[in-house]
Amino acid sequence: VVVAAVVLMRRVGPGGLELGYWVRSDRAGQGLATELAGAAAEAALALPDVERVEIHCDVANGASGRVAAKLGFTLDREVDDEVLTAGESGRLQIWILRR
Ligand SMILES: CC(C)(COP(=O)(O)OP(=O)(O)OC[C@H]1O[C@@H](n2cnc3c(N)ncnc32)[C@H](O)[C@@H]1OP(=O)(O)O)[C@@H](O)C(=O)NCCC(=O)NCCS
């Protein structure tokens, strides 16, 4: 049974990796995302060609933004984004942690 997942994606340009995370709703609020995402960010920044990790989340996704802030990411900018699901606002926050 999968209760949580993290992924690192090479789609934010040279020197960067995008970090994504999901936790099954019945296990949310227990610190799982923060723990797993923190470990993944640390591993990513240990790679020789990676100088920053980015978290992209909708401004309406307060829990995701909170995870980024708790891990020491800085809110870099907000950009317009396609609305793909009902809960999304169309504004995307880009959080960055640099080595
Ligand atoms: C976002 C998600 C990964 C968080 O997982 P989690 O294991 O519950 O996260 P944590 O328990 O580590 O931390 C959650 C933090 O958000 C806070 N939080 C929860 N709901 C919140 C909200 N609506 N607004 C602001 N903060 C919120 C919690 O209080 C906690 O912060 P705290 O430790 O300071 O109290 C999970 O809800 C999820 O899988 N959501 C769907 C997928 C998703 O949005 N992924 C991110 C894509 S960018």
- Determine the Cα–Cα distance for residues 11 and 51; give it in Å rounded to an integer: 14
Element (H, E) at 23: strand 16-23
Say yes or no: CB of residue 5 within 6 Å of ligand 1. no
pLDDT of residue 72: 98
The pLDDT averaged over each successive group of 10 residues in the chain (99 residues) is 97 97 97 98 98 98 98 98 94 97
Ligand 1: distance of its center to the CA of 11 in Å?
23
| Strand pairing report for 91-98 and 52-58 | antiparallel
pLDDT of residue 54: 98
pLDDT of residue 27: 97
Say yes or no: CB of residue 22 within 6 Å of ligand 1. yes
Place of tokens 């992209």: 56
pLDDT of residue 80: 97
Nearest to 28 by CA among 72, 83, 74, 66: 66
Ligand 1: distance of its center to the CA of 14 in Å?
28
- The predicted model scores a pTM of 0.97
